[in-house]
């Protein structure tokens, strides 16, 4: 997936999803603006993940045609907690779940199965590999999002340029996170092109 402006994507999906249940269900404020409930699941505290959350919040604050009630919950790196948060948002009938990182996104997709609650994910390398969508180009259904895939070949080029005598690259990855394993495989395929040997360690 090409990177897009997440705010526009989220808002478009939000309004489309809310349209399924009818605008009459939404609470209106004194100024006549509808209030939409958004649940944010963040897998853990991390500068990149914090930025993904702050970007959405900043975008929505700039919208003048609606109001948003945003609830942020952090799973603190625990997948069971992420599952619980996602189920809680579904029981509260939020208008959209915004999930940050792969495991949080998997929890959101699993929890919203059989509902029309839209899910927008971020900080996921490959939505298909993570089993969030069937196609990155045309996600369909109630799930979409953006990729944070790293420019792996460019990184290998840079390493070779900066360290011309280097022979081995050590890679540490999270064995419980599908996209970490995916990126190791991708680097391994590219390594011979730059005359590198990959030494990997899962934790």
Residue 150 confidence (pLDDT) = 87
Q: Please list the residues that pair with 69 across neighbouring strands.
A: 37
Q: Are residues 99 and 126 in the same domain?
A: yes
Q: Are residues 159 and 131 in the same domain?
A: no
Residue 8 confidence (pLDDT) = 53
Q: Please list the residues that pair with 98 across neighbouring strands.
A: 40, 120
Query: What is the domain extent for residue 189?
Result: 152-202
Name the nearest CA neighbour of 99 among 56, 37, 155.
56
Q: Which of 128, 147, 166 finishes a domain?
A: 147
> pTM of the predicted model, to two decimals?
0.77
Sign of the Cα pseudo-torsion (36, 40, 46, 48, in order)? negative
Q: What is the pLDDT of residues 94-144, one digit of tens each?
A: 999 999 999 999 999 999 999 999 999 999 989 998 999 999 999 989 999
Q: What is the crossing angle of helices 47-61 and 6-21, to 10°? A: 60
Please state, in angstroms and rounded to a whole number, the distance separating the CA atoms of residues 161 and 167.
12
Residue 12 confidence (pLDDT) = 53
Q: What is the pLDDT of residues 11-29, one digit of tens each?
A: 555 555 554 444 545 566 6
Q: Are residues 126 and 196 in the same domain?
A: no
Q: Are residues 72 and 162 in the same domain?
A: no
Q: Are residues 102 and 168 in the same domain?
A: no
């Amino acid at each position: 997936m090409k990177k897009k402006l997440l705010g526009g994507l989220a808002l478009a999906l939000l309004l489309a999803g809310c349209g399924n249940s009818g605008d009459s269900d939404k609470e209106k404020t004194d100024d006549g603006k509808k209030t939409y409930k958004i649940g944010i699941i963040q897998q853990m505290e991390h500068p990149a993940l914090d930025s993904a959350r702050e970007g959405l919040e900043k975008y929505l604050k700039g919208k003048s045609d609606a109001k948003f009630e945003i609830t942020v919950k952090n799973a603190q790196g625990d997948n069971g907690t992420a599952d619980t948060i996602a189920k809680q948002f579904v029981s509260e009938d939020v208008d959209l779940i915004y999930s940050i990182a792969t495991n949080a996104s998997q929890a959101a997709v699993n929890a919203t199965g059989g509902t029309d609650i839209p899910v927008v994910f971020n900080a996921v390398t490959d939505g298909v590999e993570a089993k969030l969508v069937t196609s990155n180009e045309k996600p369909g259904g109630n799930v979409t999002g953006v990729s944070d895939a790293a420019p792996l070949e460019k990184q290998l080029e840079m390493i070779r340029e900066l360290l011309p005598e280097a022979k081995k690259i050590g890679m540490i990855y999270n064995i419980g996170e599908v996209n970490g394993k995916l990126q190791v495989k991708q680097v391994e395929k590219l390594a011979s092109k730059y005359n590198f040997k990959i030494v990997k360690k899962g934790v």
